[in-house]
Chain A
Amino acid sequence: MTLMKIDQLGFRYGDPWVLRGVTFSFAQGDFVGVLGPNGSGKSTLLRLLAGILTPREGQALLEGRPVHTMKRREVARRIAVVPQSYEGIFAFSAREVVLMGRSPHLPSWSFEAPHDFEVVERVMEQTDTRELAARPLDQLSGGERQRVLIARALAQEPRLLLLDEPTAFLDIRHQVEILNLIKSFNKKEKLAVVAVTHDINLASLYCDRIILLDRGVVHDDGVPEAVLTARNIECVYGTPVLTSRHELTGRPVVAPRAEIW
């Protein structure tokens, strides 16, 4: 079943269009990667999907309703966003941060009920963050903090997870850990995932579908094998590349040509 339908979406802050004519849709259980060079409109697209920005043209429909017109609480019960980094001031502990994920399910003037604590315990177990529970977030390492933010997103019990460069500051082991975690939720619980990333190879391995953005328009959209061709990458990123196949999965692997040799 279609979860989100993005129809002729366009946005601009000032004069030039940041994003224009973007059309695609995805369903429960899809894992979509959004690739494109700096300034191609990836993050803007993510914020439009989350309903944070109001489109100038077209609309993003969540279960049939324009997402930017929905109440923030309603959106937050369906869509969770994992940001690139945590920018909180004052030291909340990891458990307090994960508990905040229950917020869209609580009426104002109320405290968490036993059920909320159960959900939080469960997602912290699943994200392997229970031993971090009492520690302030600003004292955690990048990978630990990212796991806590994913736990917070899962505590929202969303149908769609939006990821903004989820592995940007992590080493390869932690990148893989985080993506395996997300992939397992994607498969087991039919959680839809849209991830914006700069990492072409990780996207190729984990996504079922790649949307390649170029200066605000969709350059190509399809399975990794079809989209991640040398021709596409060179055209969009403007740098020569070599492509090969991942030995285990057969997915495309992209490397710069590095003509300095």
Chain B
Amino acid sequence: MGAFSFPTSYLAVTPARVVKISLLLCLLLVAVALASLFTGTADISIRATLREFFPWASFLSNGLTEAETSIIMSIRLPRIILAAIVGASLSVAGVVFQALLRNPLADPYILGISAGSAVGAVMGILLGAGAWSLGIPGLAFLGALAAILIVFGIAGREKRRGTNTLLLTGVMVNAFFNAFILFVFTISDHVQLQRALNWIMGDLSLADERALLYTSVFLVLGAIFIYAFARPLNLLVTGEETAQELGVAVEKTKIALLTAAALITAAAVSASGTIGFVGLIIPHILRLLVGPDHRLLIPTAFFTGGAFLVGADTLARCLVAPAELPVGVITALCGAPYFLLLLRRRLRLTS
């Protein structure tokens, strides 16, 4: 070949580049969120809404009616914020799980967190969450924690046997809990069955102040913690023993990262139900766009994941208005074809 003519425009991952790209994507998230705020069944003037946020801009319009204010501030806004938080949580957790399990098909739900959470939520809905002071999110969070403890407890026993044991244990716990939910659905003719089903498909209309508060705390603390391990994550992707030989305390790092990603996922799922595909495809899309370096991947997945879910939820609200699609349907309808493309590409690469 002689002089190799590959475009050697190598872009080093520098703090400046990370900040620049992250800010850009943050703007994207804000833009999508604003667009979503003005979109919906109730036709609300954009100028009037802006006036609501910037009271000094009285030249814009006369402002909103009381009903309009209520729709914007207590229905749409919390829902959009929750969508952004959940999208960011699932995407960051997805990046971590794919890297740690060294499996491109991994997603945040692979260790049974979603199924455990669903058992908690479904039981809460069917038995009447009012009877529990925790509410549905609290029960869902407990279910997720139970799943995490079971998986880590079983897989952790087998020391250093590693990721495949963890993966298989997760798949089994997932299968068991899902079967349990189907069982409950089959024997129950509860009036609340539809509500439980909605929860499982993902429901961002559950957004309230408490949900926004605790999911954002888990997300922000978790994402900062995970980002501290961004470079070790790069090394882990090239093999656990290699990472060790390059100076990573592999066992400690793995436990720290798995715990952080699992808790972020548990918080997000408990507030929104099991919204699929976000945590699977966003990491892959960003690997294609910005490369596999986690110092860039984590912040970009954070903002893009948020923007993606806000967009998907807006479609879910509007496509069949005044009815509503479960947001999980939209993410899967967008996500599944992409996933198949990815799979085909993988097959082509390996053959």
Q: Which residues of A contact B (CB under 8 A)?
A: 50, 52, 71-73, 75-77, 79-81, 83, 86-93, 95-97, 100-101, 103-104, 106, 108-109, 111-112, 117, 131-135, 138, 156
Contact = CB atoms under 8 A, between A and B. Distances in A.
A131 B244 contact: no
A90 B246 contact: no
B4 interface: yes
B14, B242, B246, most chain A CB atoms within 10 A: B246
B245 A76 contact: yes
27 contacts: A52-B245, A71-B249, A72-B247, A72-B250, A76-B246, A83-B239, A83-B245, A86-B239, A87-B242, A88-B239, A89-B102, A90-B287, A92-B234, A92-B292, A93-B10, A95-B10, A96-B291, A100-B238, A103-B232, A103-B246, A108-B229, A109-B228, A111-B13, A117-B12, A131-B4, A138-B349, A156-B246
Given A72-B247, A72-B249, A133-B8, A90 B242 contact: no
Interface in B1-30: 3-4, 6-10, 12-15
B284 to A, nearest CB: 9
Given A75-B247, A81-B245, A133 B10 contact: yes
Contacts of A87: 238-239, 242
A138 B104 CA distance: 15
Contacts of B239: 83, 86-88
Contacts of A134: 6-10
A156 to B, nearest CB: 7
Contact of A100 (B99, B104, B246): B246
The 10 closest A-B pairs by CB, nearest first: A76-B247, A104-B247, A88-B238, A73-B247, A90-B292, A81-B245, A131-B4, A87-B239, A134-B8, A72-B247
A111 B245 contact: no
Contacts, number: 94
B231 interface: yes
A112 B12 contact: yes
Contacts of A112: 12
B276 to A, nearest CB: 22
Contacts of A75: 247
Given A108-B228, A131-B4, A92 B238 contact: yes
Contacts of A50: 245
Contact of A72 (B103, B248, B291): B248
B167 interface: no
B228 to A, nearest CB: 6
A251 B279 CA distance: 59
Interface of B: 3-4, 6-10, 12-15, 99, 102-104, 228-229, 231-232, 234-235, 237-239, 241-242, 244-250, 287, 291-293, 295, 349
Nearest to A47: B241
B13 to A, nearest CB: 7
A90 B237 contact: yes
Contacts of A81: 242, 245
Nearest to B229: A108
B104, B235, B249, most chain A CB atoms within 10 A: B235
B334 to A, nearest CB: 22
Contacts of A76: 245-247
Given A83-B245, A134-B10, 7 more contacts: A50-B245, A52-B241, A92-B293, A96-B234, A100-B235, A103-B248, A111-B14
Contact of A92 (B6, B14, B237, B247): B237
A43 to B, nearest CB: 11
Contacts of A96: 234, 291-293
Contact of B231 (A71, A103, A133, A156): A103
